[in-house]
């Protein structure tokens, strides 16, 4: 049984023959290798064209901003996976990436979608931007959906990474509609949800990249690409300075068993 759309079986990303490898219309060997950066290549692969100087700098800045964040759950998962299967570096990297979702690293994509909804509402209604923000945020609240990309448990007065990305966008001449929307949401949240929530890195990444012309549907890949580099760094350290099993032991020590047990039983993982 045929499943899926009836489309032509083609790809515009890569093709080759015995003499030449073509990537997005460019000769890989003669035009790209040694001539462009990996950030350039990332933009080319995803957006279909080589970036401008400003686009390259903006994507570079977002990748640097989100690559490392300490021993977050995805990093712990990767390190403990490598401790259990030291021969499977690729499995440990995959385990870390599989732990990235709506809570960890996924909010950039959902915040980008939020901004797109607000811009669409603004265009359709013909009202003010504040009115469009108010309607969409209230719709999210009515549907019990979180407002993605706002609030931070540590940086309550402002995420310094977000502030820096917006500053770079202004310097590069890329500050535009999506950045305006992101800041309007931050400004209006106190009256809409009765508490202030500052922009965090997950709202800054989509607004600066969307204003730079990066595709909305590819936003989720930016934190994943950046965090892959961080995971490899952590896994190299894990091989030289293992802490995976120590983290496992720390969890056993920190969590108390409170389920059924025989009379007199006292849990003691140590």
CATH no. for residue 146? 1.10.230.10
Residue 202 pLDDT: 94
Query: Which of 202, 218, 234 lies at the terminal end of a domain, its last residue?
Result: 218
Domains in the chain: how many in total? Answer: 2
Asked if 111 and 201 sit in the same domain, the reply is yes
Asked if 117 and 36 sit in the same domain, the reply is no
Residue 189 belongs to some domain of the structure: yes
Nearest CA-CA partner of 136 in 147, 151, 126: 147
Query: Which of 218, 238, 254 lies at the terminal end of a domain, its last residue?
Result: 218
pLDDT tens digits along 63-79: 999 999 889 889 999 99
Residue 41 pLDDT: 98
Q: Which domain holds residue 213?
A: 107-218
Q: At what angle do helices 221-240 and 53-66 cross, to 10 degrees?
A: 50
Asked if 32 and 114 sit in the same domain, the reply is no
Q: How far apart, in whole angstroms, are the C-alpha atoms of residue 254 and residue 152?
A: 24
Nearest CA-CA partner of 71 in 94, 52, 99, 43: 99
Q: How far apart, in whole angstroms, are the C-alpha atoms of residue 177 and residue 55?
A: 16
Contact in structure between 208 and 179 (CB atoms under 8 Å): yes
Q: Tell me the sheet residues that pair with 150.
A: 199
Q: Which token pair is 149? A: 């990309």
Structural element, H or E, at residue 15: strand 14-16
Residue 245 belongs to some domain of the structure: no
Q: Is 204 helix (H, G, I), strand (E, B) or coil?
A: helix
Asked if 113 and 214 sit in the same domain, the reply is yes
Residue 259 belongs to some domain of the structure: no
Residue 7 pLDDT: 78
Asked if 212 and 113 sit in the same domain, the reply is yes
Residue 94 belongs to some domain of the structure: no
Asked if 26 and 128 sit in the same domain, the reply is no
The C-alpha angle 158, 230, 244, rounded to 5 degrees, equals 110
Residue 155 pLDDT: 66
Residue 176 belongs to some domain of the structure: yes
Residue 252 belongs to some domain of the structure: no
pLDDT along the chain (270 residues), means of 10: 77 96 98 98 98 98 95 92 94 93 85 98 96 97 94 76 97 98 97 92 97 97 96 95 87 83 79
pTM of the full structure? 0.92
Residue 138 belongs to some domain of the structure: yes
Residue 233 belongs to some domain of the structure: no
Query: Which of 218, 237, 252 lies at the terminal end of a domain, its last residue?
Result: 218
In the chain, % of residues over pLDDT 70 = 98
């Amino acid at each position: 049984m045929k499943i899926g759309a009836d489309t032509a079986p083609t790809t515009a990303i890569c093709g080759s023959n015995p003499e030449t490898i073509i990537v997005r219309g460019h000769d890989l060997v003669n035009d790209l290798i040694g001539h462009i950066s990996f950030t350039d290549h990332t933009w080319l692969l995803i957006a279909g064209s080589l970036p401008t100087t400003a686009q390259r700098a903006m994507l570079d800045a977002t990748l640097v901003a989100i690559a490392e964040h300490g021993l977050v759950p995805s990093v712990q998962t990767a390190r403990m996976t490598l401790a259990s299967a030291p021969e499977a570096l690729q499995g440990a990297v995959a385990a870390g990436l599989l732990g990235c979702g709506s809570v960890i690293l996924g909010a950039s994509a959902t915040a980008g979608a939020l901004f797109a909804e607000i811009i669409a509402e603004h265009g359709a209604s013909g009202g003010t931007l504040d009115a469009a923000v108010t309607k969409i945020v209230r719709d999210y609240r009515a549907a019990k959906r979180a407002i993605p990309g706002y609030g931070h448990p540590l940086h309550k007065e402002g995420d310094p990474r977000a502030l820096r990305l917006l500053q770079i966008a202004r310097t590069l001449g890329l500050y535009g509609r999506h950045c305006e929307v992101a800041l309007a949401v931050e400004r209006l949240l106190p009256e809409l949800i009765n508490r202030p929530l500052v922009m965090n890195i997950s709202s800054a990444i989509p607004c600066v990249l969307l204003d730079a012309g990066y595709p909305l549907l590819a936003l989720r890949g930016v934190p994943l690409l950046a965090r892959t580099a961080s995971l490899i760094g952590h896994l190299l350290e894990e091989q030289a300075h293992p802490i995976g099993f120590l983290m496992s032991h720390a969890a056993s020590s920190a969590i108390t068993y409170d389920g059924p047990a025989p009379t007199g039983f006292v849990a003691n993982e140590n």
